Structure 1
Amino acid sequence: MPNRTTVPQRLTEAVPALNARDLIGRDDELDLLQKALWNQKQVVLVNGMGGIGKTALAQSYIASTYDRYAHIAWVQQSSENFKQDLISTPGLLQALNVSPEGEIDSLFTQIIQAMCSLHQKPNLLVIDDASNSLAKIRDSLPRQPHWHLLVTSRQEIAGFEPKHLGFLTETSAVNLFKRHYQRTDLSDGDVKFLVRLVDYHTLTIELLAKVAHRQRTSLVKIQHAIENDLQANVYIDHQQQGEKVERIRSYLCSIFTTEALSENEIQLLKLLVCLPAEFHSFFTIEALISSETGIPADSLSDLLESLRESGWLIFSDSDNSYKMHQVIQRVLQYKLNVLIDDVSPLLESLTGKLSIDQTKDNPVDKFQWVPFGKRFLELFELQHSLELSRLQNNLALVLQDLGDYEGAKALLEKALASDEQNFG
């Protein structure tokens, strides 16, 4: 068994630490994390959507408490097989004097036994980007009081009490941008506009700021960075591998992986990409997504919950509503290659919701669907199908009743041009 003279403090080759000055707007979360691990003796799961700052928070925690731990291990979960990921963590087997020969289950048991047999305490095990598969071996992991276990994940993992990491405040988001953007070409108003544009998403703010600083990018160019897959050539602070981010959208697509999702989950994500990036009640989503979309009516609630638990959707308890974050929405539009044929039942549903029967309908009842029609047409603005022209026509008539005559006129002109193209 390992002893106190042969085992280094760093049990893994990588023990990434982030200076507290680079962790903008997370002082309260860092304080709560320390209290939970040291005073309340909890196993902490930092939970939140991808790119919100979970890994950076864990790295900053290491930097602020490094000297308080006898041994520290950082394990990156990169697959659904945590045992294999643990065994493959560079430096771990050597540090614990465990022979690399043997079956996975046997090596996993030897590693855990070696960790639990360390004489010096307390110790820290960080598991970054964990998946639901971790729940299967939860009881085998080193635990309090001698081991502090800190897990980051986009998912809510059974058996772990989640501590949700929310979005930055506008002030913190602006400060984060200015931390990486030292020039004066962009005004304070420009910076506020950009952080709102990406809905205060931490990773995207850092990316945009570094690109704007390095390449002296204009406001017009940087605000379309995701859509245009703007060249980046920058590094991200919390990135362990030290790989350069070549292009913004391509990098974000690599962050939001969809391989583990079911066919129905993929189809539902495609439909949600076409909705405004706002909170929508379950009943609103249910009213728009018919069985013709490929989503069984009795599965919708379960699918929404599954996507929420895995970090694809944000949920509001107060009004039972779901939201897809703007950054995720914009990335998935390209990653899933959302085509109008994929969402044609939603187009038909929206066209019907915005249709006014003058003999029985009250136009006011149609107003709630205006943002949905606008979003759909915005997504497919370069296409000219007969079905789209019907939506343009119906939305225009509702806008007319709303008093938006210019908006109605513009849509009717588009519908006319589309019909001329389709019918000659």
Structure 2
Amino acid sequence: MWTRKGHKVEVKDSRNVKIVIADTINQYINQQEVEIPKYLTAPPLRNNLFIGRKDKIKEVSDQLDKDNAVAIMNGWGGIGKTTLATEYYFLNIEKYDHLLWLRMIDSLPESLANPSLAKNLELELDPGNDLIDNARMVAQQLTNLKGNHLMVLDNANNIKDIHKHKDLLPQINWKVLLTTRGKLGGYTHINIDVLNQEHAQQLFYEYYLLQKDDDELNRLLVMIGRHTLTIELMAKIANNGELTIAQLSEVLKKEGLSSENLELDLSTDYDKEHDNLKEIFKAAFNYSAILDDETQASVFKHFILLPSIPVSLQDFLAWTGIEDNVKTKNALNQLVSMGWLKEELLIGEEELRVKRYFIHPLIAETARGTIEINEQEAVDFIDGIADKVNIAKYTNPLDAAEWLDFGRVLVEYYPDSEDSHISTLQNNLAQIYQDLGELQPAKELAEKALASVRKNFGEDHPSTAIRYSNLATIYQALGALQPAKELTEKALASDRKNFGEDHPHTAIRYSNLATIYQALGELQPAKELAEKALASDRKNFGEDHPITAIRYSNLAWIYKDLGELQPAKELAEKALVSAQKNFGEDHPQTTAVYNNLGMIYHALGELQPAKELAEKALASAQKNFGEDHPNTATSYANLATIYKDLGELQPAKELTEKAFIIAKKVWGEDHPNTVTIKSNLDSIG
């Protein structure tokens, strides 16, 4: 069974990692009468290898002592931001009434919509709700808590998502500490740099136990720099391989490294130093000979193909298909001992400690550029993720976005693959990106998926028709109507040949081609195709099926453009009843029907019901997609048109300006939708 939740495994302390658990946490775990627990989620256990940087702890404290403050720790990957945040957390436990630690994986909503967090807040997440709904419910409950509270949002590197969903951060009585590699506009940042010489030496000797040779270590530090992760990795490699510090330096030199070309200064040229760090990791990797052991190689290769998030042993085995045996566990422990994987211990609900494993992003990036992993070695994992990002599996297709980062890592690792398994993954990811309004990555992935399937199966295969059709819908969204039309006509010809006139696949092509003809202004053929699609789906699925509702809505919109407003209204009302019944009020498909029916009411002069539906459509689009999405731009523009005809020119102008800003961002200046919105804005004056 696939799950993102941590599981219980046996825990043994590594000889190189000394763990301390705050007495206050142990005392708290034994108290069961607290209604809302002080510790809303489990933090990483405090590691007593905290060396130096007391000045940074003071900077964080000073920043968070301000009212409702946000402190942002900014620095290079592997520089020690999480360790600093953990230290601040444990030093200030008594200062806060509630503490919340969130490791951001893909998005802030996903991090907040955490069943364990919800349970501690005495909330029950509704599985029927979408991710944003549940995250908003948790955020509101956090805001309602009285007192003085701390949220740590670790690994908040998706800056675009933080900006998009910053309204979900608790607003009252909360201090928020973020760790990130990026920069958030409008906030003061606390920059985390490399260790000083004394602290770099101290850290090395914590992991390297064989000798103490300050002169040789200083020479080594000139070569590898004082980057925290690099020091830890080198010390573990030398300790594990029983090398003297001088021998470690010689190993690195044999791999092509030297102090002249690799001396690091992370405060200057980030791109250059990033490349230098990768060279150091690559040299260490070559020396470690990880791939010599078959089981160890398999475990490490699969971690390379995972996002850099902590996973339990049970999840890792389920996702990858690797056997659960002593060899696998020994391989994991050896990789941790050598520094290539990290482990963390979390305080769990049912057991004191839960062990999880992860690969640091810098090490993962280096390994991905060094190790070749044949698609067949990871086929079970690739197929599993392709299934997870298949929007057809979800009531709300946006729910598939939870697995987007897993798929992204895989397609980036296999950028030029023509393997059919990768093609399926590319196709499924393209559809998620399209639903999220990210049309350029959607287009690139869909084009690759099509090229692969044409080569593997030929022009007339059903899978090729699907790829044609999916790419065509992306072209259409981008305003490239002629290539969209040509691809959809190819898909239709193939499906008619393979399945016949009345098959559901053929109906999809009829419907898609109808919307393209409509966009091209060819309304009569658009109407004929949309009527064919509706007749087929009513026959195959019945009147109340969700697919039939989509056909009603599409045909209604064509009737509107033809001026046949009464039948357009009747069809759109049927579509709305069906969408509300099958999807609920706030589903993206219902939003589309709100928009269509609202504009039909507008064309009929029924401005008040038109306004009510357009307002519902806008609220739903904002909730499902956020501000910077094509659907939100459309909803703003539609509502603005209605306000204008109601004589409410100021709100009409404000809404159109918002629509225009989004349109330029998501479509570009020359897209037909952007041009129309700009024309509407000019007409308001």
- How does the TM-score come out when normalised to structure 2? 0.34
SS in 2 for 1:114: helix
CA-to-partner distance for each residue in 1:347-371, whole Å, 9 max, x for gaps?
xxxxxxxxxxxxxxxxxxxxxxxxx
Number of the residue aligned with 2:125? 100
Contact 1:11–1:73 (Cα < 8 Å) also in 2 = yes
Q: 1:6 to 1:134 in 2, by over 3 A?
A: same
Change (3 A) 1:104 1:202: same
Aligned pair count reads 251
Q: Is the 8 A contact 1:212 1:222 kept in 2?
A: no
Match of 2:151 in 1: 125
- Asked whether the 8 Å contact 1:124–1:149 carries over to 2, the reply is yes
**Aligned equivalents of 1:189, 1:245: Cα separation in 2:** 31
Query: Aligned in 2, Cα 1:204/1:254: closer, same or farther, shift over 3 Å?
Result: farther
Partner of 2:281: 226
Question: Within 1, Cα distance between the matches of 2:74 and 2:194?
Answer: 12
CA deviations 1:290-321 (Å, max 9, x no partner) are xxxxxxxxxxxxxxxxxxxxxxxxxxxxxxxx
Instruction: Give the match for residue 295 of structure 2.
Output: none
> How far apart in 2 are the matches of 1:222 and 1:40?
50
SS in 1 for 2:178: strand
**Structure-1 separation of matches of 2:176 and 2:190:** 13
Structure 1 partner of 2:52: 25
Residue 140 of structure 2 corresponds to residue 85 of structure 1: no
Q: Distance in 1 between matches of 2:37 and 2:368?
A: 34
1:215 paired to 2:244: no
Helix, strand or coil for the counterpart of 1:83? helix
Look up the equivalent residue of 1:216 and give its one-letter code: E
Task: Report what 1:69 is aligned to.
Answer: 96
Superposition deviation, residue 51 in structure 1: 0.5
Q: Which amino acid aligns with 2:124?
A: S
Is 1:135 matched up with 2:135? Answer: no
Q: Which digits, 9 at most, give the CA deviation of each residue in 1:8-66, with x for residues without a partner?
A: 11111x311434x4221211101111121125653001001100011110011112112
Q: Compared with structure 1, are the counterparts of its residues 249 and 5 closer, same or farther at alpha carbon in structure 2 (3 Å cutoff)?
A: closer
Partner of 2:445: none
For the pair 1:192 / 2:221, whether they are aligned, the reply is no
Q: Which has the higher helix share?
A: 2
Cα 1:160–1:194 change in 2 (3 A) is same
1:138-195 CA-to-partner distances (Å, cap 9, x unmatched) read 2331146x111000000012343221111111221111111222221x6212211222
Contact 1:77 1:128 in 2 (8 A): yes
Distance 1:39 1:253 in 2: 42
After superposition, the C-alpha distances for 1:326-365 in whole angstroms (9 at most, x for unaligned) are xxxxxxxxxxxxxxxxxxxxxxxxxxxxxxxxxxxxxxxx
The 8 Å contact of residues 45 and 344 in structure 2, kept in 1 or not, is answered as no
Cα distance in 1, alignment partners of residues 88 and 217 from structure 2: 28
2:92 partner SS: helix
Matched to 1:221, the amino acid is: V
Once the 2 structures are TM-superposed, how far is the Cα of residue 106 of structure 1 from its aligned partner? 1.6
Deviation at 1:239, TM superposition (A): 4.4
Equivalent residue, structure 2, for 1:160: 187
Mapping for residues 288-307 of structure 1, pairs under 5 Å:
none
Pairwise CA distance, 1:238: 7.9
Match of 2:373 in 1: none
2:191 maps to a residue whose letter is: H
Name the CA distance, whole Å, in 1 between partners of 2:110 and 2:237.
37
Q: CA deviation at 1:78?
A: 1.3
Alpha-carbon distance in structure 1 between the residues aligned to 2:57 and 2:367: 28
CA drift at 1:68? 1.9
3-state SS, counterpart of residue 46 of structure 1: strand
Q: Give the Cα separation in 1 of the matches to 2:188 and 2:87.
A: 21
1:7 aligned partner, one-letter code: I
Deviates more, 1:32-41 or 1:133-142: 32-41
Shift of residue 115, structure 1, vs aligned partner: 0.7
Aligned residue identity for 2:58: D
Distance 1:254 1:202, change over 3 A: farther
TM-score for the superposition, normalised by structure 1? 0.53
The one-letter code of the counterpart of 2:153 is: I
Judge conservation of contact 2:135–2:168 (CA < 8 Å) in 1: no
Distance 1:165 1:93, change over 3 A: same
Question: Residues of 2 paired with 1:82 and 1:105: CA distance?
Answer: 9
Question: Matched residues in 1 for 2:142 and 2:222: separation?
Answer: 45
Q: Distance in 2 between matches of 1:238 and 1:172?
A: 23
Q: How does 1:217-256 map to 2 (within 5 A)?
A: 217=243, 218-219=247-248, 220-221=250-251, 224=255, 226-228=281-283, 229=285, 230=288, 231=290, 232-234=335-337, 239=344, 242-243=356-357, 249-250=363-364, 253=367
* 1:48 aligned residue (57, 60, 75): 75
Does residue 180 in structure 1 map to residue 210 in structure 2?
A: no
For residue 148 of structure 1, the aligned residue among 160, 165, 175 is 175
1:43–1:143 contact (8 Å) kept in structure 2? no
* C-alpha distance in structure 2 between counterparts of 1:78 and 1:65, whole Å: 25
Q: In the alignment, does 2:136 pair up with 1:109?
A: yes
Decide whether aligned partners of structure 1 residues 35 and 238 sit closer, same or farther in structure 2, where only a CA change above 3 A counts: farther
**Equivalent pair of 2:152/2:177 in contact (CA under 8 Å):** yes
**Distance change >3 Å, CA 148–CA 242, structure 1 → 2:** same
Q: 1:124 to 1:242 in 2, by over 3 A?
A: same
Bigger relative CO (Cα 8 Å, ≥ 6 apart): 1
CA distance, structure 2, for counterparts of residue 47 and residue 128 of structure 1: 11
CA distance in 1, matches of 2:177, 2:39: 16
Residue matched to 1:9 = 38
**68-77 vs 236-245, greater mean Cα deviation:** 236-245
RMSD (Å) for aligned C-alpha atoms: 3.4
Q: Distance in 2 between matches of 1:83 and 1:31?
A: 30
Q: Which residue number corresponds to residue 34 of structure 1?
A: 61
Structure 1 residues 237 and 98: CA distance shift in structure 2, 3 A: same
CA contact (8 A) 2:104 2:111 kept: yes
Find the residue that maps to 1:22 and give its secondary structure: coil
Indicate conservation of the 8 Å contact 1:17/1:63, yes or no: no
**8 Å CA contact retained: 2:155, 2:180:** yes
Q: Which amino acid aligns with 2:232?
A: E
- Residues in 2 aligned to 1:167 and 1:41: alpha-carbon distance in whole angstroms: 30
Q: CA separation of 1:109/1:250 partners in 2, compared to 1, >3 Å: closer, same or farther?
A: closer
Shift in Å, 1:98? 1.7
Identity %: 26
**CA displacement 1:81-113 (0-9 Å, x = unmatched):** 32123214x621111122121222221111011
* Conserved 8 A contact 2:105-2:111: yes
Q: Distance in 1 between matches of 2:84 and 2:108?
A: 22
Distance 1:183 1:65, change over 3 A: same
The whole-number CA distance in structure 2 between the counterparts of 1:46 and 1:11 is 22
Q: How far apart, CA to CA, are the structure 2 residues paired with 1:11 and 1:26?
A: 27
| 3-state SS of paired residue (1:126) | strand
CA distance in 1, matches of 2:220, 2:231: 8
